[in-house]
Amino acid sequence: MCRNVDLRQAVLAKNHALADTLRTELAARGVRVVNLLSSPGSGKTELLTLVLRRVRERGVPVAAITADLATENDARRLAASGAPVKQVLTGGLCHLEAEQVRGHLDGWLPDGTRLLFVENVGNLVCPASYDLGETLRIALMSVTEGEDKPVKYPTAFGSAHLVALTKTDLAQAAGFDAAAFTAHLGQVNPGVEVVRTSARTGQGVDTLVKRVLAVCEGAPPHRPVLDARHHAVHPAVPS
């Protein structure tokens, strides 16, 4: 007779548990994590550099981790803000996992840090499935990527607490259709706020910083329908 083990266990249960631990540990040290997701080249590094600078000007101790398949270029660019920056080379892995974030914080994250930004690998597919212990998840999309991107990548845009529309300085040249974008985004994440930003003109950077700091100070973030976690508990399937 064969033995059936009824498991019903989330495949990413280990990552979820570790992310919870990380969130709790960091909260105890007064640190909140912000996870930035976008496709390659949407402008994460460029925007984050401005945000880090602005947060520092406000006297809030901030640090950043940036993940890439290869090269330390993004860390160099972010470090221009003056914030402590750590480059994670994923060695081919297309997303960050909670374990890597935790490993890189050990002995590096300066005491007193209040805010830790994580620039995920440029990829809208799998980073969306991995909770990194963040309190705030921001999905970015540039005006040149196509207004229907949110429905093509529902897990990433649907799980975001906040959306940053980037490179708005190019909106006109790209013929960006704001109404279509809003409609597509609303399909997967009803009620989410969009901050329109440009790293060239500085548009939206202050608003973004305000939103992030508010959540750090305990304001509840928007509740996306698709929160970052899979709901692992299901009623037993009758057999």
Partner 1 sequence: MHELSIALAVVETVEEVAREHGAASVEAVQLRVGQLAGVVPDALRFSLEVAAQGTPLAAAELVIEEVPARALCEGCRTEFAVGTPPRLGCPRCPDAATTVVAGRELEIAAVRLPPAAACPALAASTLGSEGGP
Are 174 and 16 in contact by the 8 Å Cβ rule? The answer is no
User: Looking at 16, 86, 95, 167, which residue binds Zn ion (CB under 5 A)?
Assistant: 95
Residues 56/105/97/213 CA torsion (nearest 10 deg):
-30
How far does CA 80 lie from the centroid of its chain?
21
Q: Look-up: residue for tokens 């597509």?
A: 184
Nearest to 124 by CA among 91, 146, 157, 170: 157
Instruction: Answer yes or no whether residue 200 interacts with ligand GTP by CB under 6 A.
Output: yes
How far does CA 33 lie from the centroid of its chain?
9
Instruction: Answer yes or no whether residue 169 interacts with ligand GTP by CB under 6 A.
Output: yes
The site map against partner 1 for 200-239 (x = CB under 8 A) is: -----------------------x-xx---xxx-x--x--
Q: Which of residues 112-131 bind ligand GTP (CB under 6 A)?
A: 122
C-beta closer to partner 1: residue 8 or 29: 8
Instruction: Answer yes or no whether residue 18 interacts with partner 1 by CB under 8 A.
Output: no
3-state secondary structure of 186: helix
- Ramachandran quadrant class, 30 (left: phi over 0; alpha: psi -120 to 50; beta: rest): left
Which two structure tokens, joined as six digits, stand for 181?
Answer: 């974008």
The residue whose Cβ lies closest to Zn ion is 126
Q: Which of residues 70-89 bind ligand GTP (CB under 6 A)?
A: 74
C-beta closer to ligand GTP: residue 44 or 211: 44
- Using alpha carbons, list the distances in angstroms from residue 155 to 88, 143, 168, 198, 218: 24, 20, 24, 25, 25
What strand order describes the sheet that includes 32-37? 85-89, 62-68, 115-119, 32-37, 136-142, 162-166, 193-196
Q: What residue 74 binds from partner 1, Zn ion, Mg ion, none (CB within 5 to 8 A, per partner kind)?
A: Mg ion
How far does CA 52 lie from the centroid of its chain?
15
Instruction: Answer yes or no whether residue 147 interacts with Mg ion by CB under 5 A.
Output: no
C-beta closer to Zn ion: residue 82 or 190: 190
The site map against partner 1 for 120-159 (x = CB under 8 A) is: -----xx-xx------------------x--xx-xxx-x-
Q: What residue 3 binds from Mg ion, Zn ion, partner 1, none (CB within 5 to 8 A, per partner kind)?
A: partner 1
3-state secondary structure of 68: strand
Binding site for partner 1 (CB under 8 A): 1-15, 93-95, 97, 125-126, 128-129, 148, 151-152, 154-156, 158, 186-191, 223, 225-226, 230-232, 234, 237
Binding site for Zn ion (CB under 5 A): 94-95, 126
